[in-house]
Structure 1
């Protein structure tokens, strides 16, 4: 079983319910066990700012799914919950992102692990730091806690 971290976000519809529904659907898969959940953080939109605020969280899962199958399962959950992709960084019912999968570094058509932008996003690092501060970012060789502190200080040397 591998340990992976997923970022969840939502800014339309019943936001709290959207997060809970996504976690429940993840947990229904016999190859996924939700082990930890961060608190829920309300954050301003990133990228396209003319939209409602987001609720974001990070969860730790134990899984037998490969990184790509975990991605595809997350996309299935998004579709089941009604996500429609209209524009990059646009409003969404749910977003399920694979942030880190073990110490794997992977860059293929559909998936980059670790998530390529996570070190720049407080809405990812803050909840991630809450549940797993000592997890090492495989590319930058820094812990999540170190990346979060760097981001808060405005240090972007990675």
Structure 2
């Protein structure tokens, strides 16, 4: 199974948090990191009285079930000190399942595609970097949503690029 993950952090050295999460993906049983985007800086969605975010996207191959993958990602969040204080608030690490293969899931704890995937530049742009031409399960190209988010500020972090993050993940793009 192929899964695409959105990563975000805006507390306690967020760029380093995302790099640590990418390395942690490589240690998860049943998971292979196959690619990742650059790191991007973006303004927060929700409460504006919090620091800007650092975001990225990653692609994984896994034989875990979607719920087992979700639980593994939540365990990484907890290990990074994630505490849910307020909706869309600050966090040390946020790992969201964006897409899984060409599947649609509607479970109490997991919605795939991610319900806000098409509304956020900080998700679409890094995902497009690692999966150009990717579509929603209904066949709608994700690129078709880019005009609607063009006013959302996002830019790559200049001091880091994909080669600085995780050496030699298997790439599928």
- TM-score w.r.t. the length of structure 2 is 0.83
Distance 1:91 1:153, change over 3 A: closer
Structure 1 residues 59-79: Cα deviation after superposition (integer angstroms, max 9, x where no partner):
011111111111111100000
CA distance in 2, matches of 1:151, 1:44: 13
Partner of 1:36: 35
Question: Which residue of 140, 143, 166 corresponds with 1:142?
Answer: 140
Output the TM-score relative to the length of structure 1: 0.91
Residue aligning to 2:16: 17
What's the counterpart of residue 70 of structure 1? 69
String of CA shifts for 1:84-106, please: whole Å, max 9, x gaps. 11111010000000000001100
Higher relative contact order structure (alpha carbons within 8 Å, sequence separation ≥ 6): 2
Q: CA RMSD in A?
A: 1.5
Q: Is the 8 A contact 1:128 1:144 kept in 2?
A: no
Instruction: Give the Cα–Cα distance (whole angstroms) in 1 for the partners of residues 104 and 73 of structure 2.
Output: 19
Corresponding pairs, count: 152
**Quick check: 2:55–2:122 contact (8 Å CA) kept in 1?**
yes
5+ residue gaps, structure 2, are 153-173
- Please state whether the residue corresponding to 1:137 is helix, strand or coil: coil
1:84 matched to which residue of 2?
83
1:104 counterpart residue number: 103
